[in-house]
Structure 1
Amino acid sequence: MRTGRTVPRAGLLGLAVLALVGGAVPAVAEPVPVTVSATPIDHFALSDPSRTRFGVLDFRGGLVLTPSDSRFSSLSGLVLGSDGRAMLAVSDFGLWVAGTITEDARGRPTGLDDVVVAAMLGPDGKPLGKRRGDAEAIVRLSRDAVLVSLEGTSLARFAGDPPFDARAAFVPRPPNLVRLPRNLGIEALAAAPAGSPLAGRIVAFGERAGADGLHPGAMLDDGRWRPIALVGHDNFAVTDAAFLPGGDLLVLERRYDRPLGLYMRLRRIGVDDLRGSAPVDGPILTEADFGDEIDNMEGLAVHVTPAGETLLTFVSDDNRSIFQRTLILRFALSTPMPRARPQTGG
């Protein structure tokens, strides 16, 4: 991954040496304001600045975020306000990261203002940190409550908007996902929006496909988890998911091939497939690699503009590595979307 235009692609080696550059994250006793500088990303394809369409996505713009405080790092999931501006993210280190995405008149991100970092609190009122595993995914349950996956150990509900003072209330995990390895646990959470066919349902997926080629998952339906499975392709890992307004599910995936191969993929799973019992699969909407402005893309959120456009916002996890970057990328979903199954190897 690149930290900027001056760092060569050899920076992708960063994923292999994270342990050498990580270091401890300072404790957060109370919410801390953080200044974040933003460098615009004007084009997504490094080799073709004129290109704006990527699969069925139209690139709207992006940002490279450079904070004044190392506690702004390792963002692994996010939710947005209805206007796509108010952002609440979770960090691997058990931290909340909140801010406001600013935009220009054309809807392109221009900066991240009013940034605050705060500790997630356990039931005892003490910072969670990594006691229960990395915080990997977040989903909004209601206006003033969110659910967070603490990878491999817990699901935690937090009340409040923002939830800085809330204490974690641990809730039962899907029975079929309890035995996932600590570092390969629930990596993706998504909640179907009001008015959609699956309104009120929550979907969870594990990061890696098993020996059967399926990513283990579950759907919370009428208070009970039922198993579902996602067909894996090409050794991609699941990193997040988000529902579209109509009920289809977008799944964000990542693959890293040492030393220089970094890939991002987005798939769509049909709402009718999610209602069934067979493993779910769906078409690829877009793919990107190290020739594009990506990093370790781990968070995805969807919102609809007053004009009716569906916008997708991605965030990357820099792993607190000097070789990686924290990115915000924004795309508009074009129509029509493909309906065919992907023609890729398993």
Structure 2
Amino acid sequence: MSTTVTALIAPSAGAGFERSTIERRDVGEHDVAIDIKFAGICHSDIHQAREEWGTAIFPMVPGHEIAGIVTEVGSAVTKHKVGDRVGIGCMVNSCGECENCLAGEEQFCLKGNVQTYNAREYSGEETYGGYSKSIVARENFVLSIPEGIELDEAAPLLCAGITTYSPLKHWGAGPGKKVAIVGMGGLGHMAVKIAHALGAEVTVLSQSLSKEEDGKKFGADHYYATADGSAFKALRGTFDLIINTVSADIPVDAYLGTLKLNGSLVFVGAPEKPQSFASFSLIGARRSLAGSNIGGIRETQEMLDFCAEHHIGAEIETLDASDPSAIDKAYDRVVKSDVRYRFVIDAATI
């Protein structure tokens, strides 16, 4: 059995969005049904809907920044109840048995976690994301959204928030640490807020100074424009940690040069093309080049609780999706970096 749900669908790679319907499974004993209130637009939605990351599954319903209200729970559900404020992020299942899952790192499931959309359940059933009226998911992959964060501002935390929180925590951002954030977009503005709340000294490295006022408001102590290259010379040997949030090519060696001894440059943005660097940029100061991928369910809940405690939400622009072409226009604006700082779809308009 299943339930028919209204959704915004990308029928093929690069095609305009259309309003249509999809089927959601009935609530099983370990499932939670959620009335979606808001769904954030992530740059990865654009990459996948435009098939820029390899072969995709169409028709596609993107969206892995989902916030809503529980409307039904299965007979064996213990973590959530009807009326709860909840969210779903980038994954809706994992094997639950491998060493990474058992360690709370489901994003690195050795069997491969099941992504919220553009993926298939282990049964072969296609997954559809948050650009829709409702969703059914396993209770273990449903997060509690604490009071103190509005649902619309909470939605982007389910990807942008955890994508930046996880590496900041893993690499020890905190008092006495100098942290640089490359880019001030959807990911970058969250990284600035979280790094500041963790107690680090925060610097934004952006192509221009156009967002400097915002950066300082979000908690940045310093803000540098990198377009002319002079900032790299001025900042040589400065940072303990750099979080690169952009999805464009960067001069990796120049950024590595701004790290201290034992410093790390961590990619969370995903450029389409391979990046290159000189090994001596690492060898010269025992630096590290690394990457990070969202976070496990336990850490995602920790992030949400942290953001509620520190009154951190995403800066958003809410979209009326009654005309599906609004999503196409929003995608084009994201590509042009013309949003401050995250689009969120009002699911009531779908």
When the two structures are superposed, what TM-score results if normalisation uses the length of structure 1?
A: 0.31
TM-score normalised per structure 2: 0.31
Larger Rg: 2
Greater strand share, structure number: 1
Q: Give the structure with the higher percent helix.
A: 2
